[in-house]
C-alpha cells in the first residue's frame, strides 16, 4: 500500500481518488470544500489546498510516495514545477498549454519520474501510437474523440465533463498537424467532416490541438491529425460566439463597469454545460495507425465506447481519463516505468510490458479499446 496525494477533486479527480483508494492510502485535495464533499469514501482523507500556494503544496506532498495531478490546464505547469522541485514522482492529466522541455530537464536532474498527459486524450492515443510506432513502419496516425450527453438539449447539445475554461481553450488553441512530412498549423474547429458511429449516429469532427508531443516524438510519421467529435451543428454555434467577441480577453466597459468577455462567457457556459451528477453521457474514440509491418501494408484501428457508470456514479469521461491516470500511477509505483524526466504516454507505450499493463488495467474496469 502506497501513500498517494491527489491534486484536484473535480469529476476526474474524484474518480482517481476513488479508484486508488481501493488499494492505497489516498489523500484528496482541492481548494473547494464542496468538491471534496463529492468524494463519498471514508477511507479517502480530504484536505483543502490551493495549488497556487506552491510552498504549501511542496510541504504537503513531502510524505507521499506519489502524486496524481488533476488540476485545470492553466494551473498545470506551475503545479508540475513545484512537484519536481519537491522531488516527487507523479502522473498528470492537466493538458497544459506550455512546452515541457524545461520541466523535463529539471525532472531528470532531480531524479523524478513523471508521466504527463496520462488521460483519455491526449493519453491513450499516445500510448497506442508509441506501441505501434516501434513495431511497424508507421506513415499515418489519426484519432477522433468526443465526450457527449445521451440527451441532446437545445442549443448546445453538449455538457462539459471538465472545466469549461479548458474546453474553450481547446476551441481557440491553433491545431498542429502533420501533412506529407511537414508540421502545419491550422485554426481550431477547421476542416469539419461528418462521421458515422455504430449505435451513436452521425457526429461532426473538427481539428483540435490534441497531437501535442506526438509531433516530435514520432518524427518518421508523415501524416498525423487529431479531431474532436460533437453533435452536428455545435461547431457553428461556437464559431458564432468566437466571431462575436465572446471569447475575447480584452476588457470592455458595460455601464461604467469593466468586464472581460471571456470571463462572462465562461460563467454563463459553466451553468449551461454543467454535467449533472447522474446525467448519462458517453465517450467515443477511434484511433487509426497505418503503415507497413514486415513489408506488408497494415492498418490498426482501436474503438472505444464507454458510458456513465451508475453503480459508482462516475461519468464516462471521468472513468476513461481518471483510470488511465491511475494506471500510470501503478506503473510508477510497481517499478514498471522508471524513466527519469517528464515523459509523454508514447514513451510509456513503447514498452510492451507497460502497454499491456495499461490495457489490462482498463479492461478490468470495463474500459475496453476494441482492436481491429
Question: SS3 sequence, 260-320?
Answer: CHHHHHHHHHHHHCECCCCCCEEEEEEEEEEEEECCEEEEEEEEEEEECECCCCECHHHHH
Region 145-172: mean pLDDT is 85
Region 209-228: mean pLDDT is 93
What is the reported pLDDT for 162?
A: 64
Least confident of 45-49, 82-86, 125-129, 272-276: 272-276
E strand spans, the chain:
3-7, 25-30, 45-48, 66-69, 90-92, 113-115, 137-149, 175-179, 182-186, 193-197, 201-207, 223-230, 252-254, 257-259, 281-293, 296-307, 341-343, 369-371
Handedness of CA 186, 190, 196, 200 (dihedral sign): positive
What is the reported pLDDT for 215?
A: 92
* Topology (CATH level 3) of domain 3-119+317-371: Rossmann fold (3.40.50)
What is the reported pLDDT for 223?
A: 97
Residue 165: band (very low, low, confident or very high) from pLDDT cuts 50, 70, 90: confident
* Topology (CATH level 3) of domain 124-307: Dihydrodipicolinate Reductase; domain 2 (3.30.360)
> Domain extents for the chain?
3-119+317-371, 124-307
Residue with cell 523524478: 112
Helix (H, G, I), strand (E, B) or coil at 84: helix
Nearest-angstrom CA–CA distance, 232 and 189: 13
* Closest C-alpha to 188, from 148, 223, 238: 238
What is the reported pLDDT for 270?
A: 84
Nearest-angstrom CA–CA distance, 367 and 361: 9
Residue 121 has pLDDT above 70, yes or no: yes
* Mean pLDDT of all residues belonging to the chain: 93
Region 228-239: mean pLDDT is 94
How many residues does this entry show for the chain? 372
Residue 160 has pLDDT above 70, yes or no: yes
More confident residue, 167 or 47: 47
Region 197-205: mean pLDDT is 94
Q: Quick one: cell of 4?
A: 498517494
Q: Quick one: cell of 66?
A: 506519489
Residue 97 has pLDDT above 80, yes or no: no
Whether 350 contacts 127, CB under 8 Å: no
Amino acid at each position: 500500500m502506497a501513500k498517494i496525494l491527489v491534486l484536484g477533486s473535480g469529476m476526474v479527480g474524484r474518480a482517481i481518488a476513488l479508484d486508488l483508494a481501493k488499494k492505497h492510502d489516498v489523500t484528496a485535495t482541492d481548494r473547494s470544500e464542496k468538491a471534496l464533499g463529492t468524494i463519498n469514501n471514508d477511507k479517502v482523507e480530504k484536505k483543502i489546498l490551493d495549488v497556487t500556494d506552491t510552498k504549501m503544496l511542496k510541504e504537503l506532498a513531502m510524505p507521499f510516495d506519489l502524486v496524481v495531478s488533476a488540476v485545470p490546464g492553466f494551473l498545470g505547469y506551475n503545479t508540475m514545477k513545484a512537484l519536481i522541485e519537491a522531488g516527487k514522482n507523479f502522473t498528470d492529466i492537466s493538458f497544459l498549454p506550455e512546452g515541457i522541455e524545461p520541466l523535463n530537464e529539471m525532472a531528470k536532474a532531480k531524479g523524478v519520474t513523471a508521466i504527463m498527459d496520462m488521460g483519455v486524450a491526449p493519453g491513450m492515443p499516445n500510448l497506442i501510437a508509441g506501441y505501434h510506432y516501434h513495431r511497424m513502419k508507421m506513415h499515418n496516425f489519426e484519432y477522433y474523440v468526443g465526450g457527449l450527453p445521451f440527451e441532446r438539449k437545445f442549443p448546445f447539445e453538449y455538457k462539459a465533463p471538465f472545466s469549461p475554461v479548458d474546453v474553450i481553450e481547446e476551441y481557440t488553441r491553433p491545431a498542429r498537424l502533420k501533412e506529407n512530412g511537414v508540421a502545419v498549423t491550422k485554426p481550431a474547429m477547421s476542416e469539419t467532416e461528418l462521421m458515422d458511429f455504430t449505435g451513436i449516429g452521425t457526429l461532426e469532427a473538427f481539428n483540435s490541438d490534441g497531437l501535442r508531443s506526438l509531433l516530435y516524438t514520432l518524427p518518421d510519421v508523415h501524416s498525423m491529425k487529431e479531431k474532436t467529435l460533437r453533435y452536428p451543428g455545435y461547431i457553428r454555434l461556437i464559431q458564432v460566439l468566437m466571431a462575436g467577441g465572446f471569447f475575447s480577453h480584452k476588457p470592455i466597459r458595460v455601464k461604467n463597469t469593466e468586464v472581460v468577455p471571456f470571463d462572462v462567457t465562461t460563467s454563463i457556459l459553466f451553468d449551461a454545460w454543467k454535467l449533472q451528477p447522474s446525467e448519462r453521457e458517453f465517450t467515443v474514440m477511434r484511433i487509426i495507425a497505418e503503415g507497413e509491418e514486415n513489408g506488408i501494408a497494415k492498418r490498426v484501428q482501436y474503438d472505444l465506447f464507454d458510458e456513465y457508470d451508475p453503480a459508482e456514479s462516475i461519468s464516462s469521461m471521468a472513468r476513461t481519463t481518471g483510470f488511465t491516470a491511475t494506471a500510470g500511477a501503478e506503473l510508477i509505483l510497481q517499478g514498471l516505468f522508471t524513466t527519469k524526466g517528464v515523459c509523454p504516454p508514447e514513451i510509456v507505450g513503447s514498452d510492451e510490458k507497460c502497454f499491456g499493463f495499461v490495457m489490462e488495467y482498463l479492461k478490468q474496469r470495463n474500459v475496453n479499446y476494441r482492436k481491429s
